Amino acid sequence: MPNIDYIWKELEDDYRKILTPPSFNAWIEQAKPISLVNNLLTIEVPSNLHKEYWEKNLAAKIVETGFKLTGEEVTPVFILENEKKEPEKKPDPIQSELPDIVKQNSKKALLNSKYTFDTFVIGKGNQMAHAAALVVSEDPGATYNPLFFYGGVGLGKTHLMHAIGHQMLTNQPDAKIKYVTSESFANDFINSIQNRTSESFRQEYRSVDLLLVDDIQFFADKEGTQEEFFHTFNTLYNEGRQIVLTSDRLPNEIPKLQERLVSRFAWGLSVDITPPDLETRIAILRKRANAEGLEIPDDTLSYIAGQIDSNIRELEGALVRVQAYATMNGNDISTSLAADALKSLKPAKLKSELSILLIQEEVCKYYHLQLKDLKGKKRVKSIVVPRQIAMYLSRELTDNSLPKIGAEFGGKDHTTVIHAHEKIQQLLDNDPTIQKEVGELKNILIS
C-alpha cells in the first residue's frame, strides 16, 4: 500500500490539473492529510465551509485516485483543524497577470487591479472569507447570496471583494460588474433624483451580474437610499445575480438599518475577517516586498510585522515608510534601519484627542500653506490635494460626522468630503508620493 505522503502528492498533482491556481490555494493548500488507516484517509480542513466544499466537489477525486493507486476503495473523512495548531509557512503562489480583456473590464467596473486572489495572502483570520469569495466568484448567484464580509478596518474586505470581480471577469469576460461604496450608491441615487435620471440609475444598478457594495454601515440614517437599495437587492436576487457586501460590523449591529434589509442580508453567508497573526503579517510583507522588487532580510520583515498587529493597511504603510527612509538615507533595508524608520510609531492617540483644527494646522505646516487657503475655495492643485488630504485625515482619524467636517472646511457640503476621501483613497493605492506624505502626516498626528 503506498504511504499517505505519496497518495497526497499524487492527489495534489491531479487537483493542480483541474483547478485554477486560486482554487488550488484555497482548497488543496489549506488541507492537510492526517492519517490513512483501514482505507480511511483523514484530512484536516480549516472550516466547515471548506469541509462542505471538499465533500461536495473534491472528494470524488480522492476515491478515484485512491483506487488507481491502491486498488482499494479509499474513503475520505474530513475533520476540522485544531484551533491551537501553528500555521505553516507556505511558499508564495506565483503571481499571474490578468489578461487584457479582464483588465479593461475590471477598469470599467472600477476594480483595483492589485486586489486579486493572487495577491491575497491566506491566513487564519481570513481563510474562510477567502474560500467563500472564491466559491462565489466561480459560481456567482448560486451558493452564498448575498455574501457579506465584516470586520475591522484595513483587513482585506475590499481586496476580497475586488478579487471576486476580477475572477468572475476572468471566467466570464463580458460579465457586468459594478463596485461602489455605499456612499457612492447614495450619491448616485440622490443625483438621479435631482437630475431626473432615476430610470437610468435603476437600469444601471439592476442590470449587473455582480454588485459589490463596500462599507454598507454608512447606509445608517439614509432612509431613502435604503429603500432604493432594497429594491435593487430584490431585483438582482430574484434574477440570481450575485451581491457582495462589506461592513465593519454585522448587519444587525448597524444602527438604523431597516429590519427587512437586515433579514435579507442574512439569507446568504456572513463571514468575518479577523486581524492576521504574525506569520500572516510576515507573509503579506514578503509578498509586497517581492512584488516591489525589494530585498528585505527575513528578520527585518519579522520586526516590521511585529510593530503593527491589527491593520494591514498600516502594515503596508510601515513598509513604505521603511522603504522611503532607506532611499532617503541611501542605505539597504535592515532591521536597525527599520527600527529607526518606525521609532515614532507609538501607540495611536485616541480619536477623541485629535481635532479637525489640529489636523488642518499640521497639514498646513507640512505643505507650507495658510489655514485660510486650506479652508477656502481656491482650486489650484497645490492647495486642492492638501485640502483633500486634510479632509481624508479628519474622516479617518476623528469621529466627526461628514457634515461637521465639511462645515470646518469653510462650510463645504458633506459630499465634498466624501469625494475628497474617495479621491485620496484611490491615490493611496496608486501614488507612492501621496502614500508617503499621508503616511508621514499620520505619524505626526498620532505619535
Among 157, 166, 241, 421, binds ligand ATP (CB under 6 A): 157
Give 53 or 120: the residue with its C-beta nearer to ligand ATP.
120
Comparing C-alpha atoms, which of 110, 129, 111 is closest to residue 120?
129
Size of the site for ligand ATP (CB under 6 A): 18
Residues 343/303, Cβ–Cβ less than 8 Å: no
Among 93, 156, 251, 386, binds ligand ATP (CB under 6 A): 156
CB of 324 to ligand ATP, least distance (A): 17
Residue 103 marked ligand-binding: no
Among 77, 79, 142, 153, binds ligand ATP (CB under 6 A): 153
394 forms part of the interface with ligand ATP (CB under 6 A): no
- d(CA 361, CA 418) in angstroms, rounded, equals 21
**SS3 string of 4-65?**
HHHHHHHHHHHHHHHCCHHHHHHHHCCCEEEEEECCEEEEEECCHHHHHHHHHHHHHHHHHH
Question: All 3 cell numbers of residue 115?
Answer: 486586489
Other Cβ atoms closer than 10 A to 345: 17
Binding span for ligand ATP by CB under 6 A among 5-13, 45-53, 75-83, 150-158: 150-158
Residue 411 marked ligand-binding: no
165 forms part of the interface with ligand ATP (CB under 6 A): no
Residues 133/141, Cβ–Cβ less than 8 Å: no
- d(CA 316, CA 438) in angstroms, rounded, equals 13
Give 244 or 269: the residue with its C-beta nearer to ligand ATP.
244
Residues 43/80, Cβ–Cβ less than 8 Å: no
Comparing C-alpha atoms, which of 39, 38, 27 is closest to residue 69?
39
Among 312, 318, 341, 427, binds ligand ATP (CB under 6 A): 312
Binding span for ligand ATP by CB under 6 A among 19-27, 255-263, 309-317, 405-413: 309-317
In terms of phi and psi (left: phi > 0; alpha: psi -120 to 50; beta: otherwise), the region of 39 is left
215 forms part of the interface with ligand ATP (CB under 6 A): yes
Binding span for ligand ATP by CB under 6 A among 7-15, 157-165, 349-357, 409-417: 157-165
Give 159 or 264: the residue with its C-beta nearer to ligand ATP.
159
205 forms part of the interface with ligand ATP (CB under 6 A): no
Residue 151 marked ligand-binding: no
Among 158, 192, 242, 400, binds ligand ATP (CB under 6 A): 158
Question: All 3 cell numbers of residue 91?
Answer: 511558499
Query: Is the peptide bond prior to 347 cis by the omega test (within 30 degrees of 0)?
Result: no
193 forms part of the interface with ligand ATP (CB under 6 A): no
3-state secondary structure of 241: coil
148 forms part of the interface with ligand ATP (CB under 6 A): no
Residues 277/124, Cβ–Cβ less than 8 Å: yes
Residue 156 marked ligand-binding: yes
Residue written as cell 456567482?
Answer: 140
Give 58 or 396: the residue with its C-beta nearer to ligand ATP.
396
3-state secondary structure of 210: strand
Binding span for ligand ATP by CB under 6 A among 6-14, 95-103, 310-318, 366-374: 310-318
Question: All 3 cell numbers of residue 440?
Answer: 508621514
Residues in the chain: 447
For ligand ATP, which residue has the nearest CB?
156
Taking CB under 6 A as the criterion, which residues in 104-133 touch ligand ATP? 115, 119-121, 126
Give 113 or 235: the residue with its C-beta nearer to ligand ATP.
113
CB of 115 to ligand ATP, least distance (A): 6
DSSP state of 218: G
Bind-site residues: 154, 156-158
Which residues are documented as binding site for ATP? 154, 156-158
Task: Give the binding site for ligand ATP (CB under 6 A).
Answer: 115, 119-121, 126, 153-159, 215, 248, 284, 312-313, 316
